[in-house]
Chain A
Amino acid sequence: MALLSIQDLRVDFTTADGVIPAVKGLNCEIAAGECLGVVGESGSGKSQSFLAALGLLADNGTARGRVLFDGQDLLTLGQAEQNRIRGNVISMIFQDPLTALTPHLRIGDQMAEVLSQHRGISGAEAQKACLDWLDRVRIPEAKRRLRQYPHELSGGMRQRVMVAQAMLLSPRLLIADEPTTALDVTVQAEILDLIAGLQKEEGTAVALITHDMGVVARMCDRMLVMRLGEVVEEGATDAIFHAPQHDYTRLLIDAMPRLDRPDRTRPLTPVPEAAEVVLEARDVKVHFDMRVPGGLFGRTVALRAVDGVSLTLHQGETLGIVGESGCGKSTLARAVLELIPPTHGSVAWLGQSVDGLSKRQLVPRRKDLQIVFQDPLASLNPRMTISASIAEPLKTFQPGLTSKERKLRVVEIMERVGLEPALFNRYPHELSGGQNQRVGIARAMVNRPRLVICDEAVSALDVSIQAQVIGLLKDLQADLGMAMVFISHDLSVVREISHRIMVLYLGRVVELADRDAIYGAPQHPYTKSLISAVPIPDPRLERTRQRLRLPGELPSPLDPGAGLRFLPSRLASGQRDYVPRLDQVAPGHWVAEHDPLEAILAAG
């Protein structure tokens, strides 16, 4: 008999606009010890199904149908009976580890709560159990963590705490709702390994809810594809990946950017010979003053967000910038656009230096350099219609246009980025995420800039929309020949769109090369570990891949020795301020100085 059997589950939400069905008759089963992948894009009802099963729906949600756990229907249970099951035999971990733990309670206290609630265990015995589990999820210095508050831990560590807390009572089913979506690739890989290990060792069944086909390929035996509240396909992971039956499944698989198979949509337009230099930055540094305790009024230390980066970008070229959170990729983008004045170094736009210019002097030059931000909804003014937002740069830079001409230009660019003219007078909240990001792109492109910086511009979008937006950017580049800087934490996406790729680590370049060189023959251990951590949406391939695991967590930029993680020999000889050299190993392929891999692994 299946451990969990969901039969004809329907979830409805009562809203001001009437009753909205979120799940329309879900049927699925999870056997003991099995890992079931539940895949779908936003609005597919994948999370709501399992929240409903545990009785965790929002107040306006109702669930009908049957959710049999061990033969008992969870939906008919009262509050007290549900509480006996939650956290005990079924536990759940959530997407955003930064907000999922109670901020004012110590880690140890939050974990021990589960033990005292369900088993009446407290005191030293509870502490020992918590400590054991923190060790098992490989949290360094577990004992100290028990006394710490959530904000003192990194995102990856907090997710480990969530896993440890969920596993404390050895539940028979673990529901993981997008457990790695908010995490960096290397941390994601660690958490996935951890869950897979627990599944094997403890025999815990896992329901893994995700939008990422790569994660499913790595983790799951069976999978379920959902769309708009319905299951479109179900079966063994291998079978679905290699012979998808439903069009939507095929579309999802095709839409996933893949490290091993770039250029699914259209090939990149090659950079023309002897193209003009659009952007040049030399030794750019951005340091922020951070106030730390000490002295009567505290003291400040410099946080080196960007620490000596140089780059050159030609007309028609796309430079991809990748790196994990805190590596300074967004700060670098803002610094080269002079949105944050660099602390040091020089920047030239279109061959002319902009160093030392006042904000007012910079304004007329900004026409040719535009930026598209990550959160499409938040970066548009909610009180302006989208056409007004798109028209604003025209008003600034081409004040001579009549309102009729301006309207014409707006309609033209809207059409170009794939926005229907009917949306002209709509507000951002009336549009989908993908449409809003097209508005962002239209706003950036309306003056035909020479350079567009895309700062995580597709990260918040569903994969199918992501693929469309990337296709659009490539098209625009082919037509208009603008240069792009494409910043992302997602290595597969960057590979799709970039001619050259720069890998950043704590504000410094560790590797810079053509995209084929960097993915085909990465030289720096950090690049290698990043690439090997990205899951590939192909179960057969994914299971045979070797991962390169570097020791330790991603360190804080405030940690003085952190910059020399790949040069433990220099650190050992006391040269804490040593700046690793960038060597050219092949034409156009630069690699930061590092110790041999064995030495780095040994030092960790």
Chain B
Amino acid sequence: MLRYIFRRLLVAIPTLLLLIIICFLLMHAAPGGPFTSERKLPPSVLANIEAKYGLNQPLFVQLWDYLTGILLHFDFGPSFQYKDRDVNDVIATGFPVTLTYGTISFVLATVVGVALGVLAAVRHNTLLDYIAVGVTFSAQALPNFVMAPILVIIFTWQLGWLPGGGWNGGQWQYVVMPVIALSTSYMASIARITRSSMLETLHSNFIRTARAKGLPTRKILWRHALKPALMPVLSYLGPVFVAMITGSVIIDMYFSTGGIGLNYVNAAFNRDYAVMLGVTILYGALTVLFSLVVDVAYAWVDPKIRY
């Protein structure tokens, strides 16, 4: 197992390297640059600024400098957009925010989603099942950009219970709405996957054997059905976790949480090459890491999988 993990981490290095190179080239292939704006700068000033950031160098020299900076000094370069801040700063301020509300959303979505799915499967074709299916369908039809304004209207305008935005160091009042807005549709997907895979598991032969042994339903569910039913959920959770902790531009924009999701999109609009690449590398590394976590979790659920 350790050998497997080591091997996977080894393979991650060329994967990430490739990701960096492709993103770097794509970024530079896009028309415009960080200092092109509606109000044209005088050519001499532009040349000066570009020289300062090394943008006048040939592309492969820039790439080389960028890669060596990362490998030797863990330096992802300066931001082109925010003066006096480098990429490490931008990530260090934005990422903890999204990590906080993302993790809480993830836990909420998983726990509620799995519970709802299991319940619906166990009470298959009863009123409870129909309600659960109805709720999940509607929840999936409510993306976060619809959910967020609805929440603000209800809890801020009407009831005045919660602040309509800001982060305030992650005080709970500021976290509630981002979490609900972000987790709802994921929760619905998790519930639906759990329900269908639990239904399939409950119809399998080994569940019939467990029933023939005289085990009560509760035991059959916990000991025999849950693990195999969670297999498809598990493979969904890996990418979902990464998507959630890296935040969402909608949430960051709507609730002014100051998370990294907004930085990412702004960086793309403003051709802030360094921030864009830095965040991409963060996403890539997290994706690689959590797909490994999912694979390791598989081995825990299914003894047939041995690395």
Contacts and interface: CB of A to CB of B under 8 A. Distances in A.
B215 A117 contact: yes
Contact of B214 (A87, A101, A162, A293): A87
B213 interface: yes
Contacts of A86: 211-214
A56 B212 CA distance: 7
A105 B226 CA distance: 12
Interface string B1-33: 001001100000000000000000000000000
Interface string A61-86: 00000000000000000011011111
A56 B210 CA distance: 11
A546 B277 CA distance: 78
Interface of A: 54, 56, 58-59, 79-80, 82-88, 91-92, 94, 96, 99-105, 113-114, 117-118, 149, 151, 162, 165, 293, 296-297
Contacts of B216: 79-80, 83
B302 interface: yes
Contacts of A297: 7
A87 B3 CA distance: 43
Interface string B291-307: 00000000001111011
> Which 5 residue pairs across A and B have the least CB separation, nearest first?
A87-B214, A86-B214, A87-B213, A99-B205, A149-B303
26 contacts: A79-B216, A80-B216, A82-B214, A83-B216, A86-B211, A86-B212, A86-B214, A87-B213, A87-B214, A91-B213, A94-B212, A100-B206, A100-B208, A102-B209, A102-B210, A103-B302, A104-B228, A105-B223, A105-B224, A113-B213, A117-B219, A149-B303, A151-B304, A293-B306, A293-B307, A297-B7
A56 B228 contact: no
Contacts of B227: 104
Contacts of A91: 212-213
Contact of B215 (A56, A83, A104): A83
A296 B6 CA distance: 9
Contact of A117 (B7, B204, B214): B214
B162 to A, nearest CB: 43
Given A56-B208, A91-B213, A293-B307, 6 more contacts: A58-B203, A86-B212, A86-B214, A87-B215, A94-B212, A117-B214
B124 interface: yes
Interface in B174-204: 203-204
Contacts of B302: 103-104
B11 to A, nearest CB: 10
Given A83-B216, A88-B214, A162 B205 contact: no
A103 B304 contact: yes
B125 interface: yes
Contacts of A88: 214
Interface in B143-159: none
A94 B205 contact: yes
A243 to B, nearest CB: 37
A522 to B, nearest CB: 36
Give the interface centre of B206, B208, B227 by most chain A CB atoms within 10 Å.
Answer: B206
Given A101-B206, A105-B223, A105-B224, A114 B213 contact: yes
Contacts of A87: 212-215
Contacts of B124: 59
Nearest to A54: B212
Contact of A56 (B7, B211, B223): B211
A104 B301 contact: yes
Contacts of A162: 209
A151 B223 CA distance: 18
A296 B7 contact: yes
A96 B223 CA distance: 21
A59 B213 contact: no
Contacts of A293: 306-307
A157 to B, nearest CB: 16
B212 A102 contact: no
A85 B304 contact: no
